[in-house]
Structure formats: structure tokens, C-alpha cells
Amino acid sequence: MIEAYFEEVEGVLQDFPNIRSYTLTKRIYNLQQGYIGGTITFDAGWRLEFVEVKDAEVAEKLKYRYQFMDEAHEPVFRYDNAPHHPEIQTFPHHKHTINSIMASHEPPLRDVLLEIAQLARRSVAQNRKLPE
């Protein structure tokens, strides 16, 4: 059922300690299909906007977009399956970065959050001053 999938998404969000807040919008199309999307704000002021259209009986999402932005709301990366890059080997799945578009498989939300957590750790490590 689609409601169980929505609960799973909320559970993933509650598992991540560096999330400051989030808002979700859910639409149930029928018992199996629905839409979930929202905005996640991280402690560093970073933001992830996401959309998933899901059929609970199918492994892949019907549609998805994960747009990650820095504290100035400048894009850092985006995963999506919009069919606008047929040249990519994993079409329609791909990842946009600041300088490129690359092959990518459909990432679970948890993996996107882990990628952001790794970026946060690197950011802290680069800005941390060593004791004198």
C-alpha cells in the first residue's frame, strides 16, 4: 500500500540527525499509487527538495527528482529520471552536477541523504582549524 511507503520515507527522514526540519506533501492516487514530495533543511542551511511518484507494487519510482542546494540556494546536484538526456547510458536516470550530466541509477532517498552527510563532513573538515 502507498501509505506504508509514505511511512517508510518519513522514517528515513527521522533517522538522519543533521536534518533541521522538513515539510512533506502527500497525495494518494489510489491504494497503490501516490505522490510524496517536500523540502528538507539541514543544520548547515543546505536544502534538498524532492518529489517521488510511486507505485507500491513496482520497484522503481514512476518519477523522481532530488535537487540539493547549498546555503545560498545554489544548485549542487540533482538526480532525476526526466527523459531529456537520451545520450546517457542509464537513460532516463541521470545526475546533474554543477559542470556535468552523468549516468546514474535511481537512488533511494536514504542514499541521497548519505551523500549529503558525506558532503557535510568534508565541509566541516575543510573549514576546521587545527589547534596551534
Domain-located, residue 120: yes
Q: Is the peptide bond before 92 cis (omega within 30 degrees of 0)?
A: yes
Report the percent of the chain where pLDDT is more than 70: 93
Distances (CA, A) of 20 to 4, 80, 129: 24, 24, 25
What is the Cα–Cα distance from 119 to 92, expressed in whole angstroms?
A: 25
Domain total of the chain: 1
Amino acid at 15: D
Amino acid at 75: P
Three-state SS sequence of 37-56? EEEEEECCCCEEEEEEEEEC
Domain-located, residue 132: no
Q: Tell me, what's the pLDDT at 57?
A: 94
What confidence category does residue 122 fall into, taking pLDDT thresholds of 50, 70 and 90?
confident
Domain that holds residue 93: 2-127
Q: Is 6 helix (H, G, I), strand (E, B) or coil?
A: helix
- Segment 7-29, tens digit of pLDDT: 999 999 999 988 999 999 999 99
Q: Does residue 56 contact residue 1 with C-beta atoms inside 8 Å?
A: yes
H helices of the chain, in order, are 2-15, 109-127
Residue-wise DSSP of 54-65: EETTSSS-SEEE
Q: Tell me what percent of the chain is helix, strand and coil, each rounded to the nearest 5.
A: 25, 35, 40
